[in-house]
Amino acid sequence: MKKDKLYEVRKITTIKEMLEQSCEIYADKNAFLRKVKRGEPYTGVTYAQFKKDVWAYGTALHNLGLKDGKRIAVIGENRYEWVLSYMAAVNGDTMFVPIDRELAAPDILNLLKIAKVSAIVFSPKIAAKLTDAKAEVPTIEYMISMDASDENADKTVAALIEEGKKLINDGDKSFDEVKIDPNEAKIILFTSGTTAMSKGVLLCHRNICANLMSMCSMVNIVPEDVFLSILPPHHTYESTCGILAPLFRGASIAFNDGLKYIPNNLNEAKVSVLLGVPAVFELLYKRIWAAARQKGIESKLKTGLKLSNALRKIGIDKRRSIFKSVHDTFGGNIRLFISGAAAIDPAVAKGFRDLGILFIQGYGITECSPIVTLNRDINFKDNAAGIPLSCLEVKIDNPNEEGIGEIICKGDNVMLGYYENDEETAKVLKDGWFYTGDLGYIDKDGFVIISGRKKNIIIDKNGKNVYPEELETFLNKNNYILESMVYAHEDENTFEIRAQIFPNLPEIEAEFGKDVSDEQIQKLMEAAVKEVNDRNPTWKYIRKVIVRKEEFTKTTTKKIKRYAKENQEQ
């Protein structure tokens, strides 16, 4: 197998070293584009200013006594103060504990207790969930608001930056002099919000830096790029790939006003790279075609695709001019979409590329900081999770007759273990190998193909394996379906594969009218299932269809929570 040449990247051993280098190389360039209020224009924050703010903030935190390994939790939406808090905590004499802001108040308090946090940096948008924080978590010393003025906080980020500047001017070098051990745990990142299931993944600077160097050597990110930050920042996919990677490569990061404002923000910030999850990209792709149908230009768009694809076969690429109107809806500068968290429909990936937007996907897991495999911008397969990063080995454990087994990996980006949980650590870390819990195989070209989660696999009465994610992918291609969940139903008399489906009501009503009946919708869903069954052997057949009135409960990265009570048959 021929290996393509990797892109050249700087060698870094710590996040602090990376930040210092980038802020020197790209000093006068905008690191961030932010808004004081929604609706206002973006304003820039240079790399030089960002470093000053981080150093001042970190110095002030030390001055408060937040040092000697104390834990700082950060809870909030995508914004400049979140990134500042991350960099000040992880590069100082403290540990960084990002928390999912979508969790219920009791779950947030549980995680704060487990991590024994000394300070919470929070957005006022989630302040109501933290009303009892100090009373419930005895280790908390400070409540720090991300807003410049907040009566409910002990301190604000803005005030601490000003205090830190004065301290530095007076000779305080405590933050600057912190020497980072690349192998020391500096991040506790929880994989779940409930007390019974939460596991704190321990990550170090070596883990993150290995990931940064490897993935940036596989996909070319340039200083002229502008990223739009839309994914939950507490998740390693966003914090490593959507925040640290552009900072490493000298690009800019614009903060999103909210998911419904993505098209506006893409245009306002002249975004060139967007990281997202399949649900986001599939929705954007469907909107392109829905808009074409509404304008009566669907056939014209299809003709344009045929012409463009024919020209490309003889080396002529006119996609950006032929599909200028499509590009304009994304701001006119988009060159790259990167999808993660779950598999994307290959037709969507190819569809975007046919329109002139490069589309690739990768595969990661929190315990690997997070990227394990990545499709390259010069070498990709739409049905694959990508090629293993250069910083780790990947192999298939105990493969079956189809070559499918558990994906395991070993390398510098693999976590140190689970926080205060040796038993769970021993289950997944064996002889240096991390057992991902995901099933898949490696094809002849070295690409990893994922079949599904080990715990989700359906084994029928004859011992045949059915991967629900595979069936869901086919179902979700149907325009009448927004999302689906395939699972096994078993009782004393029955074993059968079932599917719960949440229909795409706007699409159905556009074709059949607002008065479409439940019976008609049920028949449409059953017809969609029949199409999937017809392409599969009988032992993979979905035998019952249940139409949901409400969408599934999902994680913040838009994965369906298969085992959540709300998602079970009612």
Q: Is the per-residue pLDDT at 455 higher than 80?
A: no
Nearest-angstrom CA–CA distance, 197 and 115: 14
pLDDT for res 195: 44
Helix (H, G, I), strand (E, B) or coil at 271: coil
pLDDT digits (tens, 9 = 90+) for 430-444: 999 999 989 999 999
**pLDDT tens by residue, 85-104:** 999 999 999 999 999 998 88
- Domain 273-408+420-454 sits in CATH at 3.40.50.12780
Give dist(CA 131, CA 405) in Å, integer.
Answer: 47
Q: What is the DSSP string of 151-172?
A: TT-SEEHHHHHHHHHHHHHTT-
Give residue 194's pLDDT band: very low, low, confident or very high (50, 70, 90): very low
* Exposed / middle / buried, residue 170 (Cβ in 10 Å: 0-12, 13-18, 19+): exposed
CATH code of the domain occupying 458-567: 3.30.300.30
Residues of the chain with CATH 3.40.50.12780: 15-206+229-251, 273-408+420-454
Residue (of 546, 485, 481) closest to 508 by Cα position? 481
Average the pLDDT over 143-152 and give the result.
Answer: 86
Question: Which two structure tokens, joined as six digits, stand for 239?
Answer: 């914090």
- Number of neighbours of residue 557 by Cβ within 10 angstroms: 18
Binned at pLDDT 50, 70 and 90, residue 279 comes out as: confident
DSSP 179: P
**CA 352/CA 381 separation, integer angstroms:** 14
Pairing of strands 417-418, 429-430: unpaired
Alpha carbon distance 361, 375 (integer Å) = 6
Write the secondary structure of 240-255 as one string of H (helix), E (strand) and C (coil): HHHHHHHHHHCCEEEE
Q: How many CB atoms lie within 10 A of CB 332?
A: 14
Residue 460 is predicted with a pLDDT of 65
Pairing of strands 142-145, 155-156: parallel
What whole-number distance in Å separates Cα of residue 249 and Cα of residue 240?
A: 12
Determine which of 191-200, 234-243, 299-308 has the lowest per-residue pLDDT on average: 191-200
C-alpha to C-alpha distances, 117 to 111, 113, 371, 511, nearest whole angstrom: 9, 7, 27, 54
The CA-based angle 347-348-351, given to 5 degrees, is 85
Tell me the average pLDDT of the chain. Answer: 91
**The pLDDT of residue 467 is above 90:** no
| % of the chain residues with pLDDT over 70 | 96
Answer for the pair 449, 404: CB distance below 8 angstroms, yes or no: no
**What are the residues whose beta carbons fall under 8 Å from the beta carbon of 299, sequence distance 6 or more?**
none
Whether 227 contacts 252, CB under 8 Å: yes
> Who wins on pLDDT, 54 or 511?
54
CATH of 15-206+229-251, one of 1.10.10.10, 3.40.50.12780, 3.40.640.10, 3.40.50.2000: 3.40.50.12780
| Model confidence pLDDT, tens digit, residues 325-370 | 889 988 899 999 999 887 888 889 999 999 999 999 999 999 999 9
| Least-confidence region, from 9-23, 385-399, 469-483 | 469-483
CA 348 to chain centre: 18
Mean pLDDT for the stretch of residues 166-191? 96
State the amino acid at position 17 in one-letter form: E
* % of the chain beyond a pLDDT of 90: 70
Instruction: Specify the pTM.
Output: 0.83
Q: Quick check: 563 pLDDT over 60? A: yes
Most confident of 60-64, 109-113, 477-481: 60-64
The answer on pLDDT for 10 being more than 90 is yes
Based on the number of CB atoms within 10 Å of its own CB, is 169 exposed (0-12), middle (13-18) or buried (19 or more)? exposed
pLDDT confidence of residue 570 = 63
Structure confidence at residue 193 (pLDDT): 46
Tell me the average pLDDT across 414-420. 96
